[in-house]
């Protein structure tokens, strides 16, 4: 059967990211989301950490247009690039942090050689309406160019008491599915059982765990990732637990072994301790 061109393009790009239906994606948009305080002193230069991520074998990188352009000679032709097209700073008044603004355009992501685009929707936020408008505009244009759209489906807002509550996470994931996301990144719900229900709620749309704040004990982070993989997830999108680790390359290697080789935590813990 012959598919239309953009459908073929999307399938090919998704396969590049999820080569065996699984992926470890390195998230690196924290300079805008949280500010430079997130970066250890010796890792303020994006070229260093992006080089380590690629040399250690991550499956894709998710970052901003600005960082992608500063590092194009490192990632270009080697690894799929996912451009995040929404953002907010933590300099904003707290209430306004519930809104993700436009942070680039699909045509710029296409121009720079991206394989996918990403956008955050804070489901339940006071600004849900605005973010949905942005999401559908990004998704529609991305689809036209054959680019998959990853949604960071984060339940967040004054009405949400606990954004990690499994029922709340499931709601966000289901809403992401119904808004046409090709890949969904969401919070870990704290147990394999509860995350299995999250995966089921996605009805076959690939689910990736969001890394979150750096765990005090890095082995605990490996356990979280192992548990989402057991629950049927497709991998993880990880930032701080990689670039704030004393040895980001070994953290990446340990995560890759769990995600792609189904290794047990005990078998790879020595890499991160
Ligand atoms: P982490 O693994 O560091 O949590 O990165 C994932 C991510 O979604 C980033 O893409 C983004 O910058 C950050 O988390 C959002 O953080 P917050 O939840 O504090 O808004």
- The pocket around ligand 1, CB under 6 angstroms, is made up of 27, 29-30, 33, 152, 210-212, 237-241
For ligand 1, what atom is nearest to the CA of residue 38? 3
Count CB atoms within 10 A of the CB of residue 207: 27
pLDDT digits (tens, 9 = 90+) for 14-66: 999 999 999 999 999 999 999 999 999 888 999 999 999 999 999 999 999 99
At 214-269, the pLDDT tens digits run 999 999 999 999 999 999 999 999 999 999 999 999 999 999 999 999 999 999 99
Q: Which residue has the higher pLDDT, 1 or 204?
A: 204
pLDDT beyond 80 at 3? no
239 C-alpha vs ligand 1 centroid, how far in Å? 7
Q: What pLDDT score does 2 carry?
A: 72
DSSP strand pairing (101-102 vs 86-87):
antiparallel
Whole-number pLDDT of residue 42: 87
Protein residue with its CA nearest to atom 5 in ligand 1: 239
CA of 185 to the centre of ligand 1 (A): 10
The encoded tokens of residue 147 equal 């680019």
Residues paired with 71 in a beta bridge:
none
DSSP state of 105: -
**For ligand 1, atom 15: residue with the closest CA:** 33
- Which residues are annotated as catalytic? 185
Prediction pTM value: 0.97
- Which residue's CA is the closest to the ligand 1 atom numbered 20? 33
Q: Is 157 exposed, middle or buried (0-12, 13-18, 19+ CB in 10 A)?
A: middle
Distance 265 CA to ligand 1 centre (A): 23
Q: What contacts 87, CB < 8 A, 6 or more positions away?
A: 29, 32, 33, 64, 100, 101, 103, 120
* Sign for the pseudo-dihedral over CA of 200, 201, 203, 208: negative
pLDDT tens, 89-122? 999 999 999 999 999 999 999 999 999 999 999 9
CATH class of 5-271: alpha beta
Which of 66, 211, 228 to mutate to test ligand 1, by most ligand atoms within 8 A of the CB atom? 211
- 139 to each of 89, 105, 156, 252, how far by Cα in Å? 23, 11, 21, 30
In the predicted model, is pLDDT for residue 149 greater than 80? yes
d(CA 170, CA 132): 18
Q: What is the largest CA-CA distance in the chain?
A: 54
How many CB atoms sit inside 10 A of residue 110's CB?
Answer: 17
Confidence at 206, pLDDT banded by 50, 70, 90: very high
């Amino acid at each position: 059967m012959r598919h239309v061109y953009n459908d073929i393009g999307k399938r090919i790009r998704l396969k590049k990211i999820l080569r065996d239906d699984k992926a470890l994606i390195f998230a690196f948009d924290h300079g805008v989301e949280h500010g430079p305080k997130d970066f250890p002193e010796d890792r303020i230069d994006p070229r260093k950490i992006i080089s380590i991520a690629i040399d250690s074998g991550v499956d894709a990188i998710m970052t901003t247009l600005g960082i992608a352009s500063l590092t194009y000679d490192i990632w270009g032709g080697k690894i799929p690039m996912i451009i995040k097209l929404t953002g907010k700073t933590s300099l904003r008044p707290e209430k306004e942090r519930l809104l993700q603004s436009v942070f680039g355009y699909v045509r710029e992501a296409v121009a720079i050689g991206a394989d996918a685009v990403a956008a955050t929707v804070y489901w339940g936020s006071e600004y849900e309406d605005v973010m949905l408008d942005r999401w559908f505009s990004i998704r529609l244009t991305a689809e036209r160019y054959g680019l998959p759209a990853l949604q960071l489906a984060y339940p967040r807002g004054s009405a949400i008491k606990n954004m990690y509550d499994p029922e709340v996470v499931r709601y966000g994931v289901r809403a992401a599915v119904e808004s046409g996301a090709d890949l969904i990144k969401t919070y870990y719900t704290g147990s394999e059982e509860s995350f299995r229900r999250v995966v089921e709620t996605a009805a076959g749309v690939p689910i990736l765990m969001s890394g979150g704040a750096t765990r005090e004990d890095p082995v605990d982070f490996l356990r979280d990732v192992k548990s989402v993989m057991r629950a049927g997830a497709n991998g993880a999108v990880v930032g701080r637990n990689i670039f704030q680790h004393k040895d980001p390359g070994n953290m990446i290697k340990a995560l890759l072994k769990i995600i792609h080789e189904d290794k047990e935590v005990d078998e790879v813990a020595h890499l991160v301790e």
